[in-house]
């Protein structure tokens, strides 16, 4: 078990990790998420005793890492697939690590087989692809048959077969009762692998909960509605009708509408009532990615802007109007991934079977009355994150 | 309770021998079980419950149960010591090409130049110098190879990031550095002593005529090898402190060459002439010359004080490397 208490790391004036407390439990795969630069790797390095915390402490099975009598037999880690001497054979690399903790050489051949590198065991790791490097790193982590495993971005550069293998490996390691702590940026992968999540942003703990709780707490389902493209006035009409009925409507790039706060049958009824034909009416289940994006959007340090290519363009002749660029989904649109949370931002979209429960008993008119200002007034539980809610126009200035 | 949840079984069983102390037979295993898991809300829950099996797993929180489930490797865990680190460092040093390259160039320089010198000298050239003098010429150049190797032994790990893997595998960092220094020293000493000895044997074989003074040369083999090996250990310590191959090699070249060059300038002024003389006496090249008794066997300078100075500097650098090693983040 990994236990961090008040973990803080400062590099000069910059605080990389601040007052982080969490526990990673055995028997489950725990995902470790956060935007770039949020302190994931720093935390991992502190767990492994490579960096000394400025404050607080982190222990593994009750011991600080550097006090473990034979660390590789208790903790295996893959920090960086490129953290090998490229001039050394894969086998020699593992052998010198094995010798460091008294592991017999035949175990080296064993783990080489486990990760599928037995054919390149005598090749210098300099020539390895990223995926092969990851496999070598995983082999090093498995070498000591440890109780606790840490993986930093283990599926980076792996082929689909390798990703599947890593996913199953993580699950089987956890099923054996080991503590498995994995950081990754691949949300779809995390949703499949992890059962528990620890999310940090700007070095602070944002969430420590199970994946299902995380998704339901940080996102809402919505309906996608499409009206005939030939008749844009129908779209306006439907938007008005849905908004009036208490729904929250956001236009999507391809002309569809994103409707929150209304169950599917009700949307259909409203459209019928407004005499609008529908080309599409589909439910959309929130994914871990959306939940993650919503939670971390306020904690993202490195945000991309729309590429205006202004530096390459020739000076336009006076009077010429530059061609407006179609906005790219997600870019410069803070709320793209962020349907309002079920708690505050109006009612979540509910599936038909949930419909009776979703509108609270006294609230048949109530949410409808409150709804029009709800999107603007109650953006989210993480208010700091969404200071310009509802704007879907192209804002390329990062906040 | 006769069939506790399988994960707890190993925990509960050791307690059962104590169980007969309890009065009633029915709650016995419960008590043993409660003691095993030390669940805070366990005892009150168990007093009224006749079917303990379903009640018992509930009180310990999910993760406490998981803790009992936690995996333990079937292979016994041994405590590690310096021997493991030495084996590991030996594997490391022999499995990279930089070792092969630097050592072979070193051997080529010392033995090659040594044999050339042997071939071009006469017996009477060895009248008042030891037979190992031909090795000295190669050693002047060859010491740079040992410096390079010494730096690379530590700094290449920082350059490639391997050091994080190493220190994860052995959080006892001092042990890793000690093993590195020891292994490197042995390798460097064996290589240099062997090559000096070989050149000495060649020279004594070729020129053991009556004109050659029978000057003992075993000391110069030992001290010469010790001197260049210590230079290499110094380089290793500098590499560990600077963590950068090019920077550390440049620093070491400066340490070797600057004191050999500077006296030329320092002797211009009277105030610095004394310092210049000291530098001329103690720079690495001149120290080697003194160890090999280039000035003749009757000269008072045996190179011992130069060797002592290097030992002191190396010890200080190694101590600094150890101190920084424990303090810094990797």
pLDDT band of A304, cuts 50, 70, 90: confident
Q: Give B-chain residues touching A45 at CB under 8 angstroms.
A: 164, 329-330
Query: B157 — contact with chain A (CB < 8 Å)?
Result: yes
Residue of B nearest to A23 (CA): B63
Q: Give B-chain residues touching A88 at CB under 8 angstroms.
A: 92, 95-96
Q: Check whether A316 has a pLDDT greater than 80.
A: no
Report the candidate in B219, B65, B192 with the shortest Cα–Cα distance to residue B131.
B219
Report the candidate in A269, A262, A270, A288 with the shortest Cα–Cα distance to residue A350.
A262
Q: Check whether B36 has a pLDDT greater than 70.
A: no
The alpha carbon of residue A295 is apart from the nearest alpha carbon of chain B, in Å, by 26
Q: Give B-chain residues touching A144 at CB under 8 angstroms.
A: 73
CB A295 within 8 A of CB A35: no
Residue A156 has φ and ψ, to the nearest 5°, of -50, 125
Query: A48 — contact with chain B (CB < 8 Å)?
Result: yes
Query: A92 — contact with chain B (CB < 8 Å)?
Result: yes
Q: Give B-chain residues touching A72 at CB under 8 angstroms.
A: 168-170
Interface of B with A in 36-75 (CB under 8 A): 63, 66-67, 69-75
Question: Cα angle vertex A169, ends B80, A39, to 5°?
Answer: 70
Q: Find the CB nearest B96 among A50, A88, A178.
A: A88
What per-residue confidence (pLDDT) applies to A293?
Answer: 83
Q: Which long-range contacts (CB under 8 A, 24 or more apart) does B59-67 make?
A: B63/A23, B63/A25, B63/A26, B63/A27, B64/B37, B64/B39, B65/B5, B65/B7, B65/B8, B65/B37, B66/A25, B66/A26, B66/A27, B66/A28, B66/A177, B67/A1, B67/A25, B67/A26
Interface of A with B in 167-196 (CB under 8 A): 176-179
Q: Check whether A261 has a pLDDT greater than 90.
A: no
Q: Find the CB nearest A1 among B67, B97, B161.
A: B67
CB B202 within 8 A of CB B178: no
pLDDT band of B267, cuts 50, 70, 90: confident
Q: Find the CB nearest B69 among A71, A85, A177.
A: A177
Q: How many CB atoms lie within 10 A of CB B269?
A: 10
Average pLDDT over residues B60-89: 76
Q: Tokens 């499995």 label which residue?
A: B95
CB B259 within 8 A of CB B279: yes
What per-residue confidence (pLDDT) applies to A97?
Answer: 94
Question: Could you tell me how far CA B155 lies from the centroid of its own chain?
Answer: 12
Residue of A nearest to B62 (CA): A25
What per-residue confidence (pLDDT) applies to B112?
Answer: 96
What per-residue confidence (pLDDT) applies to A163?
Answer: 92
Cα–Cα distance for residue pair B201/B192, rounded to 1 Å:
14
Highest mean pLDDT among A327-331, A387-391, B203-207, B314-318: B314-318
Residue with the bigger pLDDT between B164 and B32: it is: B164
Which token pair is A113? 């087989």
For chain A, what percent of residues have pLDDT higher than 70? 79
pLDDT band of B67, cuts 50, 70, 90: low
Which token pair is A117? 């590198």
What per-residue confidence (pLDDT) applies to A326?
Answer: 59
pLDDT band of A331, cuts 50, 70, 90: low
Strand-pair category, A179-183 with A148-152? parallel
Q: Give A-chain residues touching B96 at CB under 8 angstroms.
A: 85, 87-88
- The pLDDT tens digits for B161-191 are 999 999 999 999 999 999 999 999 999 999 9
Average pLDDT over residues A242-259: 86
Contact A85 B160 (CB under 8 A): yes
Query: B34-54: string of b/e by CB count within 10 Å (b at 16+)?
Result: bbbbebeebeebbeeeeebee
Residue of B nearest to A149 (CA): B71
CB A171 within 8 A of CB A164: no
Interface of A with B in 27-46 (CB under 8 A): 27-28, 45
Q: What is the ipTM of this complex?
A: 0.76
Q: How many CB atoms lie within 10 A of CB A290?
A: 22
Q: Find the CB nearest B169 among A72, A147, A176.
A: A72
Q: Give A-chain residues touching B154 at CB under 8 angstroms.
A: none
- Mutating which of B152, B156, B162 best tests the A interface, going by the most A Cβ atoms within 10 A? B162
Contact B70 A178 (CB under 8 A): yes
Q: How many CB atoms lie within 10 A of CB A98?
A: 26
CB B57 within 8 A of CB B45: no
Contact A145 B85 (CB under 8 A): no
CB B5 within 8 A of CB B57: yes
DSSP summary character for residue B108: I
Q: Give B-chain residues touching A84 at CB under 8 angstroms.
A: 160-162, 165
Q: What distances in angstroms separate CA B218 from CA B130, B199, B232, B292, one per listed residue?
A: 9, 12, 21, 10
CB A234 within 8 A of CB A74: no
Query: A82 — contact with chain B (CB < 8 Å)?
Result: yes
- Mutating which of B64, B72, B77 best tests the A interface, going by the most A Cβ atoms within 10 A? B77
Question: What's the whole-model pTM score?
Answer: 0.74
CB A373 within 8 A of CB A263: no
Half-sphere exposure (Cβ direction) of A81: Cα atoms closer than 13 Å: 19
Query: A129-138: string of b/e by CB count within 10 Å (b at 16+)?
Result: eebbbbbbbb
What per-residue confidence (pLDDT) applies to A329?
Answer: 55
Q: Check whether B115 has a pLDDT greater than 70.
A: yes
Residue of A nearest to B159 (CA): A85
Q: Find the CB nearest B95 among A23, A72, A88.
A: A88
Contact B172 A96 (CB under 8 A): no
The string of DSSP letters for A115-170 reads TT-GGGTTSBGGG--HHHHHHHHHHHHHTT--SEEEEESTTTT--HHHHHHHHHHH
Average pLDDT over residues A323-348: 51
Cα–Cα distance for residue pair A379/A359, rounded to 1 Å:
19
Contact B164 A25 (CB under 8 A): no
- The pLDDT tens digits for A158-174 are 899 999 999 999 999 99
Q: Give A-chain residues touching B166 at CB under 8 angstroms.
A: 97, 100
Q: Find the CB nearest A87 among B74, B78, B98.
A: B98
Residue of B nearest to A68 (CA): B171
DSSP-derived 3-state class of residue A13: coil
**Least confidently predicted of A238-252, B92-106, B237-251:** A238-252
Cα–Cα distance for residue pair A364/A367, rounded to 1 Å:
7
CB B227 within 8 A of CB B287: yes
């Amino acid at each position: 078990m990994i236990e961090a208490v008040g973990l803080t790391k400062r590099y000069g004036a910059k605080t990389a990790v601040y007052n982080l407390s969490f526990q990673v439990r055995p028997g489950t795969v725990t995902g470790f998420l956060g935007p770039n630069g949020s302190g994931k790797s720093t935390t991992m390095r502190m767990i492994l005793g490579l960096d000394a915390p400025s404050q607080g402490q982190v222990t593994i099975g009750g011991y600080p890492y550097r006090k473990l009598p034979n660390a590789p037999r208790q903790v295996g880690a893959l920090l960086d697939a490129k953290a090998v001497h490229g001039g050394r054979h894969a086998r020699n690399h593992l052998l010198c690590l094995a010798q460091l903790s008294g592991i017999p050489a035949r175990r080296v051949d064993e783990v080489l087989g486990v990760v599928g590198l037995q054919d390149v065991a005598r090749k210098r790791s300099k020539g390895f692809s990223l995926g092969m490097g990851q496999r070598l790193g995983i082999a090093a982590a498995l070498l000591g048959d440890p109780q606790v495993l840490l993986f930093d971005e283990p599926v980076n550069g792996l082929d689909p077969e390798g990703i599947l293998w890593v996913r199953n490996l993580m699950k089987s390691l956890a099923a054996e009762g080991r503590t498995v702590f994995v950081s990754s940026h691949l949300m779809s992968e995390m949703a499949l692998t992890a059962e528990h999540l620890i999310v940090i942003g700007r070095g602070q703990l944002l969430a420590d909960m199970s994946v299902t709780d995380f998704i339901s707490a940080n996102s809402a389902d919505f309906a996608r509605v499409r009206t005939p493209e030939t008749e844009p006035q129908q779209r306006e009409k439907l938007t008005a009708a849905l908004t009036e009925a208490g729904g929250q409507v956001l236009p999507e790039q391809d002309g569809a509408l994103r409707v929150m706060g209304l169950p599917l049958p009700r949307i259909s009824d409203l459209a019928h009532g407004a005499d609008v034909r529908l080309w599409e009416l589909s439910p959309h289940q929130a994914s871990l990615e959306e939940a993650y994006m919503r939670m971390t959007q306020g904690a993202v340090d490195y945000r991309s802007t729309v590429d205006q290519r202004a530096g390459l363009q020739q000076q336009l002749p006076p009077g010429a109007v530059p061609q407006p660029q179609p906005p790219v989904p997600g870019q410069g649109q803070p709320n793209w991934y962020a349907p309002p949370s079920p708690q505050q931002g109006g009612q979540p979209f509910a599936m038909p079977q949930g419909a009776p429960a979703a509108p609270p008993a006294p609230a048949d008119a109530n949410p409808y009355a409150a709804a029009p200002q709800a999107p603007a007034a109650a953006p989210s539980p993480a208010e700091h994150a969404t200071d310009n809610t509802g704007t879907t126009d192209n804002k390329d200035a990062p906040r | 309770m006769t069939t506790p949840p399988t994960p707890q079984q190993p925990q509960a069983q050791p307690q059962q021998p104590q169980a007969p102390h309890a009065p009633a037979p029915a709650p016995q295993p419960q008590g043993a079980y409660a003691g095993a898991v030390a669940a805070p809300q366990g005892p009150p829950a168990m007093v009224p419950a006749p079917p303990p099996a379903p009640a018992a797993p509930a009180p310990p929180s999910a993760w406490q149960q998981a803790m009992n489930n936690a995996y333990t490797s079937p292979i016994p865990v041994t405590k590690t010591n310096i021997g493991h680190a030495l084996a590991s460092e030996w594997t490391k040093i022999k499995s990279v090409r930089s070792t092969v390259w630097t050592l072979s160039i070193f051997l080529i320089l010392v033995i090659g130049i040594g044999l050339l010198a042997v071939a071009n000298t006469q017996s009477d050239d060895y009248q008042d110098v030891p037979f190992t003098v031909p090795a000295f010429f190669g050693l002047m150049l060859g010491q740079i190879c040992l410096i390079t190797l010494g730096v690379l032994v530590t700094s290449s790990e920082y350059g490639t990031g391997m050091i994080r893997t190493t220190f994860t595998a052995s959080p006892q960092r001092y042990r890793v550095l000690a093993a590195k220094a020891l292994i490197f020293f042995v390798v460097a000493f064996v290589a240099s002593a062997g090559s000096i000895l070989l050149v000495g044997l060649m020279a004594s074989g070729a020129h053991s005529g009556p004109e050659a003074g029978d000057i003992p040369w075993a000391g110069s083999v030992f001290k010469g090898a010790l001197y260049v090996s210590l230079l290499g250990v110094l380089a290793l310590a500098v590499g560990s402190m600077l963590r950068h191959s090019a920077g550390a090699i440049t620093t070491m070249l400066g340490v070797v060459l600057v004191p050999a060059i500077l006296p030329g300038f320092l002797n211009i002024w009277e105030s610095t002439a004394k310092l210049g003389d000291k530098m001329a006496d103690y720079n690495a090249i001149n120290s080697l010359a003194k160890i090999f008794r280039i000035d003749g066997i009757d000269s008072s300078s045996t190179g011992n004080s130069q060797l002592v100075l290097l030992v002191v500097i190396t010890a200080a650098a190694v101590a600094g490397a150890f101190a920084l090693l424990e303090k810094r983040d990797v």
